[in-house]
């Protein structure tokens, strides 16, 4: 069995963080995000190859993951000649496939029981199976309506209040049969949601839903990216290093924390970082590798990527800072997102 990860997007909603870092490898604590999806695919031992469908900065991703041997999965890379949309990318990546394929959107973190999804697909002898997840505010999403037997009936694009008949949305995870790919035009943009899936309904093919009521999030905005970290810290999504100790401060043995530093849990300080005397690392703060947090700095509910320096008496609150940033002395950064190599001069206010 094969898996295709649709990891070709430019991550525009996460800019400026994704200008130099493709969205699939933005760090979640000390691991590129893609690792979490590969961990989920390991639920299915029969997956013998993962195809990464790429378009934006593919070399950066390939340099990190290579042939996949370190992850325990065989990885093959397919680079789209131009953005082909979700269905076009599936056809381009799956041109030679002859067996069922699991497809993942590249920005989804979930605890879905993937083995149960595959089992349902096979039991129903389906041409396609889609994972759905319920949401609290259905009017903000495109909804997917099913009948009592779990067959897909229709897709409702951001319905009006009086049109809402369900609360389930597309979770971005599918099991597909390659024999259906011939209806996707070759090498042209084509949407899996707006074109491919409606074709299954129109042809009365077996197209079923698996409703996942467990954890699910799209990490594609700064707000959701920050929420993922808080959810892991609180234990709502179980993952290292907080899986066995949610709510507590976590400091790498290779970090240096001077006397007089305040650590409020949950927080995270990665290897090689230095936190100087009098600094305060508050709740939900994440300090990446080789950062330098100087005396009397306050970092609170913020994510700081690797190799960033925050100088004396500075304050960083509710913000995300990219790699190699410099926050000057007595500066305040509050509720902003800064890309790599950003400089905030002394005594500035953002």
CATH superfamily of 2-218: Spore Coat Polysaccharide Biosynthesis Protein SpsA; Chain A (3.90.550.10)
Q: Over the stretch 209-225, which tens digit does the pLDDT of each residue have?
A: 999 999 999 898 999 99
Q: For residues 24 and 59, what is the distance between their CA atoms, to the nearest angstrom?
A: 12
CB 53 within 8 A of CB 91: no
What does DSSP assign to residue 205?
-
What is the structure's pLDDT at 244?
A: 87
Backbone angles phi, psi at 230, to 5 degrees: -65, -40
What is the structure's pLDDT at 140?
A: 66
Q: Which residue ranges in the chain fall short of pLDDT 50?
A: none
- What is the crossing angle of helices 58-65 and 34-41, to 10°? 60
What is the structure's pLDDT at 106?
A: 82
Which of 141-147's residues contact partners 24+ apart within 8 Å by CB, and which partners? 141/169, 142/169, 142/170, 142/193, 143/167, 143/168, 143/169, 144/168, 144/169, 144/170, 144/209, 146/209
Greatest distance between any 2 Cα atoms in the chain: 69
What is the structure's pLDDT at 259?
A: 94
Beta-bridge mates of residue 316: 299, 333
CB 117 within 8 A of CB 175: yes
What is the structure's pLDDT at 79?
A: 87
CA of 179: how far to CAs of 182, 218, 227, 232, 307, in Å? 7, 29, 39, 39, 48
What is the structure's pLDDT at 207?
A: 92
Q: Break the chain into its structural domains and give their ranges.
A: 2-218, 248-344
Q: For residues 74 and 81, what is the distance between their CA atoms, to the nearest angstrom?
A: 23
**Single pTM value for the model:** 0.89
Q: For residues 277 and 263, what is the distance between their CA atoms, to the nearest angstrom?
A: 12
Backbone angles phi, psi at 72, to 5 degrees: 85, 10
Closest CA to 151 of 125, 180, 181, 173: 125
Q: For residues 94 and 4, what is the distance between their CA atoms, to the nearest angstrom?
A: 8
The fold of 248-344 is UDP N-Acetylglucosamine Acyltransferase; domain 1 (2.160.10)
Q: For residues 41 and 68, what is the distance between their CA atoms, to the nearest angstrom?
A: 13
Q: Do domains 2-218 and 248-344 have the same CATH topology?
A: no
Can you read off the two tokens belonging to residue 202?
Answer: 């129109």
Q: For residues 15 and 348, what is the distance between their CA atoms, to the nearest angstrom?
A: 22
């Amino acid at each position: 069995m094969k898996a295709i990860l649709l990891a070709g997007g430019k991550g525009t909603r996460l800019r400026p963080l994704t200008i130099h870092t493709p969205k699939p490898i933005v760090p979640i604590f000390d691991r590129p995000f893609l690792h979490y999806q590969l961990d989920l695919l390991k639920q299915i031992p029969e997956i013998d190859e993962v195809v990464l469908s790429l378009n934006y900065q593919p070399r950066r991703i390939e340099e990190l993951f290579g042939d996949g041997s370190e992850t325990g999965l065989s990885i093959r890379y397919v680079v789209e000649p131009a953005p082909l949309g979700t269905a076009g990318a599936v056809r381009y990546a799956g041109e030679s496939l002859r067996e069922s394929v699991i497809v993942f959107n590249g920005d989804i973190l979930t605890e879905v029981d993937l083995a149960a999804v595959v089992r349902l697909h096979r039991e129903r002898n389906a041409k396609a199976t889609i994972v759905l997840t319920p949401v609290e505010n259905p009017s903000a999403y495109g909804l997917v309506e099913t009948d009592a037997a779990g067959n897909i009936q229709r897709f409702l694009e951001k319905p009006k209040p009086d049109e809402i008949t369900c609360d389930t949305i597309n979770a971005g995870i599918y099991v597909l049969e390659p024999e259906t790919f011939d209806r996707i035009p070759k090498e042209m943009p084509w949407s899996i949601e707006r074109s491919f899936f409606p074709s299954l309904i129109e042809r009365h093919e077996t197209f079923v839903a698996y409703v996942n009521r467990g954890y699910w999030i799209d990490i594609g905005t700064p707000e959701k990216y920050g929420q993922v970290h808080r959810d892991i810290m609180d234990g709502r999504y179980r993952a290292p290093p907080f899986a066995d100790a949610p709510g507590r401060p976590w400091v790498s043995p290779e970090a240096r924390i001077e006397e007089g530093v305040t650590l409020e849990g949950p927080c995270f300080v990665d290897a090689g970082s230095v936190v100087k005397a009098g600094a305060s690392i508050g709740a939900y703060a994440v300090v990446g590798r080789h950062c330098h947090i100087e005396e009397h700095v306050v970092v609170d509910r913020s994510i700081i990527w690797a190799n960033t320096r925050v100088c004396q008496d500075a304050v960083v609150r509710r913000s995300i800072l990219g790699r190699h940033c410099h926050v000057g002395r007595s500066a305040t950064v509050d509720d902003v997102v800064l890309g790599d190599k950003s400089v905030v001069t002394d005594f500035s206010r953002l």
